[in-house]
Amino acid sequence: MSDEVKKMSIKPCPICKENMFVIGTDKKNRKLTSCGHRYKFKLTRSQKDLSRKYVKTEYGLELVK
C-alpha cells in the first residue's frame, strides 16, 4: 500500500458495509467515500451544546457571552 492510503483510516461504509475511506466533502458538507456513497450524521446533544456555548477562533475555542 502507498503511504497516503496508510494514513487514511479504512473502515466499513455505513451504507453498504464495504471497506472504504473518506475522499472529501461535497457542497452540503456530506462526506464522500471511495465506494461512491455520501453521508452525514446528525450532531449529538453534547456537540450541539458545545457549538452553542463556544466559538472557534484562530487561538482556539472561546466562551460565548
pTM higher than 0.75 for the full model? no
* Best CA proximity match to 4, nearest among 29, 27, 23, 25: 23
**Separation between Cα atoms, residue 50 and residue 22, nearest integer Å:** 25
Q: Which residue has the cell 483510516?
A: 9
Instruction: Dig out the grid coordinates for 5 from the structure.
Output: 492510503
pLDDT, tens digit, for every residue of 14-52?
A: 888 889 988 888 898 898 999 988 988 888 999 899 888
Domain boundaries, position 33: 3-63
Is 40 in contact with 31 (CB distance < 8 Å)? Answer: yes
